[in-house]
């Protein structure tokens, strides 16, 4: 069975996880990609974002969300008044899956299969366990299904504050939303609406991390402890 599990070291250091992930051969996707694209960002982030998989640009750069989808995400974060530097960003799958066009020049994104998402999930779980965010934004159906199961329907539950994946000891809140690249794909007349929806869902998620003491007000009314108990 494909799985990254045997490659994941028992550590709560992101740098060690990222280093080990470079060697992962937990599924066939490592073979054609340039490199593993591990998550990046603040190790103590209260909010973590999970995308699908690195794209062409991310595969070459070795960092998540640095291409066109990343630019949409950056604009949406700015519109929601969220500082990207405060976050931890990663992907459900850590290697770029693609086909090449007939002339073999352009690499075209291919959606990872369910087995590849499941194979790569141990990395996501290790990142969640290490960063221990209060809330996780699942960008698109692949990320949502990675943590909420294959029956999860994004269209029905996007923007809701969800709990309990059954996969972790300490469950963060989860908010599933559209993938930033969906904003680019849609017909031009629907792009603004799609973008606004993404911004609204990011705001919903971020509001769950606001605390009474640091924000000076109850914010959305959802109270979360001001400081997370030290777990290790
Ligand atoms: N799309 C994703 O899901 N993740 C990236 O890092 C880039 C594009
Ligand atoms: Fe390992 Fe994930 Fe890459 Fe597959 S996609 S080889 S499981 S890191």
The pLDDT of residue 169 is 79
Q: Tell me the CA–centroid distance for residue 74 and ligand 1, in Å.
A: 12
The pLDDT of residue 226 is 37
Cα–Cα distances (Å) from 2 to 97, 147, 182, in that order, read 15, 17, 29
Name the nearest CA neighbour of 76 among 49, 97, 96, 58.
Answer: 49
Atom of ligand 1 lying closest to residue 89 CA:
6
Atom of ligand 2 lying closest to residue 21 CA:
8
Above 80 in pLDDT, residue 230?
A: no
Q: Tell me the CA–centroid distance for residue 87 and ligand 2, in Å.
A: 23
Atom of ligand 1 lying closest to residue 139 CA:
3
User: pLDDT by residue (tens digit) across 147-166?
Assistant: 999 999 999 999 999 987 77
Task: Specify the residue with its C-alpha closest to ligand 2, atom 8.
Answer: 94
Q: Rounded distance, CA 15 to CA 43, Å?
A: 10
Average pLDDT over residues 74-98: 98
Cα–Cα distances (Å) from 23 to 88, 130, 152, in that order, read 22, 19, 31
The pLDDT of residue 63 is 98
The enclosing H or E element of 144 equals helix 141-148
The pLDDT of residue 48 is 98
Cα–Cα distances (Å) from 3 to 12, 51, 116, 196, in that order, read 20, 19, 8, 37
**Predicted confidence band at 103 (pLDDT cuts at 50, 70, 90)?**
confident
Q: Tell me the CA–centroid distance for residue 227 and ligand 1, in Å.
A: 30
The pLDDT of residue 213 is 44
**Predicted confidence band at 25 (pLDDT cuts at 50, 70, 90)?**
very high
The pLDDT of residue 211 is 61
Above 70 in pLDDT, residue 227?
A: no
The ligand minimizing its distance to the Cα of 96 is: 2
Q: Tell me the CA–centroid distance for residue 64 and ligand 1, in Å.
A: 6
Query: pLDDT: is 226 or 6 the higher one?
Result: 6
pLDDT > 90: what percent of the chain? 82
Above 50 in pLDDT, residue 221?
A: no
Q: Rounded distance, CA 148 to CA 90, Å?
A: 17
User: pLDDT by residue (tens digit) across 111-126?
Assistant: 999 999 999 999 999 9
**Predicted confidence band at 222 (pLDDT cuts at 50, 70, 90)?**
very low
Mutation to probe ligand 2, out of 32, 52, 93 (largest number of atoms < 8 A from CB): 93
The pLDDT of residue 167 is 79
Q: Tell me the CA–centroid distance for residue 189 and ligand 1, in Å.
A: 24
**Single pTM value for the model:** 0.90
Average pLDDT over residues 134-139: 98
Say how many Å lie between the first and final Cα of the chain, rounded.
32
Above 90 in pLDDT, residue 138?
A: yes
The pLDDT of residue 165 is 72
Q: Residue 150 corresponds to which tokens in the numbers above?
A: 């294959």
Cβ-based neighbour number of residue 102 at 10 Å: 6
The ligand minimizing its distance to the Cα of 29 is: 2
**Predicted confidence band at 40 (pLDDT cuts at 50, 70, 90)?**
very high
The pLDDT of residue 134 is 96
């Amino acid at each position: 069975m494909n799985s990254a599990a045997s490659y994941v070291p028992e550590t709560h250091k992101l740098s060690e996880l990222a280093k080990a992930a470079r060697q992962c051969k937990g599924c066939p996707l490592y073979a054609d990609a340039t490199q593993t694209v591990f998550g990046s960002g603040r190790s103590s982030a209260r909010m973590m974002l999970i995308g699908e998989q690195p794209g062409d640009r991310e595969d070459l750069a070795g960092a998540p969300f640095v291409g066109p989808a990343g630019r949409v995400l950056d604009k949406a974060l700015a519109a929601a008044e969220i500082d990207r530097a405060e976050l931890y960003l990663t992907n459900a799958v850590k290697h770029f899956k693609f086909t090449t066009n007939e002339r073999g020049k352009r690499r075209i994104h291919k959606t990872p299969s369910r087995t590849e998402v499941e194979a790569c999930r141990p990395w996501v779980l290790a990142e969640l366990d290490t960063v221990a965010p209060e809330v996780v934004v699942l960008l698109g159906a692949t990320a949502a299904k990675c943590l909420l199961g294959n029956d999860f329907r994004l269209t029905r539950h996007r923007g809701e504050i969800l709990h309990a994946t059954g996969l972790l000891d300490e469950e963060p809140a989860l908010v599933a939303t559209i993938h930033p690249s969906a904003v680019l794909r849609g017909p031009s007349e629907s792009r603004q609406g799609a973008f606004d929806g993404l911004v609204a869902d990011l705001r919903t998620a971020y509001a769950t991390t606001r605390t009474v003491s640091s924000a000076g007000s109850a914010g959305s009314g959802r109270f979360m402890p001001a400081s997370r108990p030290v777990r290790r």
